[in-house]
Amino acid sequence: MVMIFKVFLYLSYVCNALKTGNTFSNSKPKILTAKQEKYSQLLEDKKISLVVVHGPAGTGKSWLAVKTAIEKLKDNSVKKIVLTRPIVSVEDENLGFLPGNIDDKMNPWIQPLYDIFNDEKSNKNIDINSLVKSGKIEIIPIGFMRGRTFTDTYVIADEMQNSSPLQMKMILTRMGENSKIIVTGDSSQCDLKIKENGLIHFLKVINNYFKNKHEIYNNGIGIVKLDIKDVKRSPLAQTILDIYSSPSPELEDNQTIMPEYLSKPVQTNCDCCCDESDENTCSCLHCGRGV
CA distances 157 to 19, 48, 61, 178, Å, are 26, 16, 11, 17
3-state secondary structure of 156: strand
Rounded Cα distance between 54 and 185, Å, is 5
Find the Cα–Cα–Cα–Cα dihedral 8, 13, 16, 22, rounded to 10°.
180
**pLDDT tens for each residue of 73-88:** 889 999 999 988 887 5
DSSP code of 144? Answer: G
Find the Cα–Cα–Cα–Cα dihedral 167, 172, 138, 67, rounded to 10°.
120
The pLDDT confidence band at residue 126, using thresholds 50, 70 and 90, is: low
**pLDDT tens for each residue of 145-161:** 889 999 999 999 999 99
CA distances 179 to 106, 152, 153, Å, are 23, 5, 5
3-state secondary structure of 213: helix
Bridge partners (DSSP) of residue 225 are 54
The predicted structure's pLDDT at residue 185: 94
DSSP H/E element including 17: helix 2-20
Structural domains of the chain ordered from first start: 2-242 (3.40.50.300), 260-291 (no CATH)
The predicted structure's pLDDT at residue 22: 45
